[in-house]
Structure 1
Amino acid sequence: MVKVDLSHALLKGNVLDHQSEVTRIHEMIHNRTGRGNDYLGWLDWADTYDKDEFARIKVAAQRIQDQADVLLVCGIGGSYLGARAAIEMLQGPYPKNNLEIIYVGNTFSSTAIVRILDYIKDKRVALNVISKSGTTTETALAFRLIRQFMEEKYGEAEAATRIYATTDAEKGLLKPLADEKGYETFVIPDDIGGRFSVITPVGLLPIAAAGISIDDFMQGVKDATFELNNPALESNPAYVYGTVRNMLYNDGKAVEMFVSYETHLVYLAEWWKQLFAESEGKEGKGLLPASVNFSTDLHSLGQFIQDGTKNIFETVVLIDNPMEDTTVPTEANDLDQMNYLAGKSLNWINEKAFEGTLEAHEITGGVPNIILSIEKADAYHFGYLVYFYFKALAMSAYMLDVNPFDQPGVEVYKKNMFRLLGK
């Protein structure tokens, strides 16, 4: 369950006044009559996903754990952000599992690629390459380099047992290469776009390999699918969030700032930014999704949020129960003057930082705040949360009257880059 608190949102109207529009869009989503409806496969994925493939994913994940010290996840955008968001959110900093996960194929940085190849040269390596077309340049280039490295290290036959390809069932360049080489393959569904694909094998294989229960993850998706399948704003928090975003946008806000108070939520914010930016940033419309991690960024961007241009609202994502906690010790001489916090928990201090910041930004700064909260950072709640965002995004984008499921603007840089590369 995701709770939405609007008591600090400084709204000028009543959310419930938008019920008729929400009902109309809800019916459009579920009847699949809106723009981009060919990409609504996520809507009922929890009921339709391939159970046999799901079982194969768990077997492959165990094999990766047995055969590797490092798993390279090779993909860009939705091909890696969802898995990274899940793994970092659910395992926290400095995870205690034995498998290290490194994300590649998401940059042209020569330094990053060369350093990674050097870092893994003496380690046991497995690779999950993720690309629907096989032609995404950043991913394909890294995959060529890593594939050749692995074939030289292990020989072609053994390398094939360590490479897993998640791609289209039939089309593209990666599928025939995988078949020729003998890689185990998993399918990216035709009707689910990359930024929604964390609930498919795209996200499930790396998440399972990291030792996270994908059964619990999918149960969260399934429960959200059921509980958020109604148009009533009084009982559907996803639609409330989507509607309030639109209300604030129409009130002149240009930027939504994703705020977290846990460092292990940084990549949840990165995933969220892609989901909303690629879905809504088109036709000269849309909120700019940005993110901060407090209290760290209170010492930098906090100044702008407090006193800068008033075109921002914040959406704070809170976890009720922290993954870890401890108390502040007493020190005899109190030379650092921290004894006033002795006996207090670090999480309690973090909560006070949130409360103080909320008051500063809302009351003094006039910055609207939406507060989203979940009980704890586990696989179930992550699954529920991503589906919550899917549903909120569909409502919000259709309220903007844009197609939530295409990304025509992304193609412009590619055309220019290919021209300059001489392709």
Structure 2
Amino acid sequence: MADQAQRIQLDFNNVLRVGGEHGLTEAELDAATAQAGQAIAAVQQRRQGGDLRWMELPYADTSAVEQLAGEIRDQFDNFVVLGIGGSALGNIAVNTALNGPFYNSDNQRTHPRLFVLDNSDPEFNAGLLQVIDPARTAFNVITKSGSTGETLSSFLFFRDVVQHAVGGDKLKDHFILTTDPAKGPLRDLVNREGFRSLPVPEGVGGRFSVLSPVGLLSAAVTGIDIKQLLAGAAFADEITREADAWQNPAAMGALVQYLLYGKGVDIVVMMPYAQRLKDVADWFAQLWAESLGKKVDRTGAVVNVGPTPVKALGATDQHSQVQLYAEGPFNKLVNFLRVERFATEGALPAAYENMDAFSYLAGHSFAELINAEHEATAIALTEAGKPNMTHILPEVNAFTVGQLLYLLEVQTAIAGELFNIDAFDQPGVESGKVATYALLGRQGYEQQRQQIEQAQGQRNPRATV
């Protein structure tokens, strides 16, 4: 096992300090330990049956990704990801965490700039052309099905732009299609027109794909050590196989949130106290919401279950959201992310020593300040009877980021077992896709369009102000 000094810890003492009414007691957790053990075993059993292939990603061969990344670095100044949801959020989270929030503006940068377009907003797509030269840009089109409307729209738009910039004979050099290895519209284009391609591994859903070529290519292009990213995930895999929930941070994280959900704590706020981890909260929101928000359980009973994820950022949102968390309803668990050692401490110099508002800061650092702010917020929430817990990262590096992502994925899978729902489908998302196809006149969706038009015809004119 890797160096334990790089292990992420889950500290849920403040859930216990809040106690029985709005938090949990040690006895309550002990009473549910057997249920958690069954959930851990069920996840591992599904894995052994070949059902959860995302769990094997830490051990995948990355040579094809690394070779392609090298070619892109040699040829292009910009790398643009065209994707949405799980085909984009992980790329953003990993880049912000490991390259930092100012990567594209860094004059010392030696790798291509990274842009991720994850919306069909017209100004967002067209606006990119103001800051890139299409002739010096590679585009990674990511959709497992090969038919995601938002992504294919961006592909059509930028395909036309590139074709006008470099000509049709060089068009395919500017696009990498990441999609199903065997089927789908994008795979058909790869086979017919010779685009470079990477596979979305079979059995790996979008929100669990960040450690696959979906997320690894943009990471490798921008200079991130993807082997260390996967090594961290493999370390988390070892930890999260532990059958005792008290020794398994993924299982305990799932168990705490499952038991609190039963007490009406149905919102989890992920609040990193590190700017680099800001976008991990965004990625987690999709992972948690899309996996656990379900209408029916495995027996087919209607349960309409699912804790709601909310993203926040410390210390920024101490000045916007924490008032609600401290004095509002008792329906939230705050999940902090804390970094023990920052790459830069940021020493605070002495000045205005005769003014107390300044003098007490002298001799400290930004690192001390932000961690003191985390601790102070946790204390305030605990005193207000609001449960909170903290994932503690020794530092932010490729190993700990890979570890954190995998740990949260396993936590989600175990939570699905506890809630007795399928954490790996998304029927609510699919129904929205069908409605979009119908509204835009896609062949085969005529009946759905007719149903939509009939429903829209029943609009109440008083309901629009």
Q: TM-score under structure 1 normalisation?
A: 0.94
Q: CA 1:179–1:33 in structure 2 vs 1: closer, same or farther (change >3 Å)?
A: closer
User: Where has structure 1 moved over 3 Å in runs of 4 or more?
Assistant: 332-337
Quote the offset at 1:123 in angstroms: 6.3
- Alpha-carbon distance in 1 for matches of 2:289, 2:134: 39
Greater shift in the superposed pair: 333-342 or 409-418: 333-342
- Aligned residue among 72, 75, 78 for 2:83: 75
Are 2:372 and 1:372 equivalent residues in the alignment?
no
Are 2:440 and 1:421 equivalent residues in the alignment?
yes
Corresponding residue for 1:86? 94
The alignment covers a number of residue pairs equal to: 415
- Alpha-carbon distance in 2 for matches of 1:390, 1:320: 23
Quote the offset at 1:64 in angstroms: 1.5
Query: Is contact 2:134-2:162 (8 Å) kept?
Result: no
Corresponding residue for 1:103? 116
- Equivalent AA in structure 2 for residue 4 of structure 1: L
- Aligned residue among 8, 33, 38 for 1:19: 33
- Alpha-carbon distance in 2 for matches of 1:402, 1:369: 25
- Equivalent AA in structure 2 for residue 133 of structure 1: S
- The C-alpha deviation readout for 1:290-338, integer Å capped at 9, x for no partner, is 0110211111111111111221110111111113222112225767941
Q: 1:340-379 to 2 correspondence within 5 Å?
A: 340-363=360-383, 365-379=384-398
Quote the offset at 1:41 in angstroms: 0.4
Quote the offset at 1:43 in angstroms: 2.1
Q: 1:198 is paired with a residue of what secondary structure? A: coil
Are 2:69 and 1:61 equivalent residues in the alignment?
yes
Q: 1:183-198 to 2 correspondence within 5 Å?
A: 183-198=195-210
Query: Is contact 2:342-2:367 (8 Å) kept?
Result: yes
- Equivalent AA in structure 2 for residue 44 of structure 1: E
Q: CA 1:17–1:333 in structure 2 vs 1: closer, same or farther (change >3 Å)?
A: closer
- The C-alpha deviation readout for 1:178-236, integer Å capped at 9, x for no partner, is 23232211111121111000111111111111100011111111222222212112321
Quote the offset at 1:33 in angstroms: 8.6
- Equivalent AA in structure 1 for residue 33 of structure 2: Q
Corresponding residue for 1:30? 44
- Alpha-carbon distance in 1 for matches of 2:157, 2:70: 25
- Equivalent AA in structure 1 for residue 156 of structure 2: R
Are 2:317 and 1:297 equivalent residues in the alignment?
yes
Q: CA 1:200–1:339 in structure 2 vs 1: closer, same or farther (change >3 Å)?
A: same
Q: TM-score under structure 2 normalisation?
A: 0.85
Quote the offset at 1:112 in angstroms: 0.8
- Equivalent AA in structure 2 for residue 321 of structure 1: R
- Alpha-carbon distance in 1 for matches of 2:206, 2:24: 36
Greater shift in the superposed pair: 114-123 or 192-201: 114-123
- Alpha-carbon distance in 2 for matches of 1:213, 1:416: 41
- Alpha-carbon distance in 2 for matches of 1:219, 1:333: 48
- Alpha-carbon distance in 1 for matches of 2:40, 2:353: 63
Q: 1:186 is paired with a residue of what secondary structure? A: strand
Corresponding residue for 1:386? 405
- The C-alpha deviation readout for 1:44-72, integer Å capped at 9, x for no partner, is 3334x2x2xx2121111122122222110
Corresponding residue for 2:339? 319
Query: Is contact 1:44-1:225 (8 Å) kept?
Result: no
Greater shift in the superposed pair: 400-409 or 23-32: 23-32
Query: Is contact 2:338-2:371 (8 Å) kept?
Result: no
- Alpha-carbon distance in 2 for matches of 1:334, 1:162: 60
Instruction: Give the unaligned 5+ runs of structure 2.
Output: 1-6, 296-303, 443-465
- The C-alpha deviation readout for 1:108-146, integer Å capped at 9, x for no partner, is 211111111232246610111111122111100001111
Instruction: Give the unaligned 5+ runs of structure 1.
Output: none
Quote the offset at 1:256 in angstroms: 0.4
- Equivalent AA in structure 2 for residue 380 of structure 1: F
Q: 1:293 is paired with a residue of what secondary structure? A: coil
- Alpha-carbon distance in 2 for matches of 1:305, 1:202: 35
Query: Is contact 1:217-1:381 (8 Å) kept?
Result: yes
- Aligned residue among 269, 283, 290 for 2:281: 269
Corresponding residue for 1:328? 348
- Equivalent AA in structure 2 for residue 291 of structure 1: K
- Equivalent AA in structure 2 for residue 22 of structure 1: A
- Alpha-carbon distance in 1 for matches of 2:440, 2:161: 24
Q: 1:133 is paired with a residue of what secondary structure? A: coil
Query: Is contact 1:168-1:189 (8 Å) kept?
Result: yes
Greater shift in the superposed pair: 159-168 or 398-407: 159-168
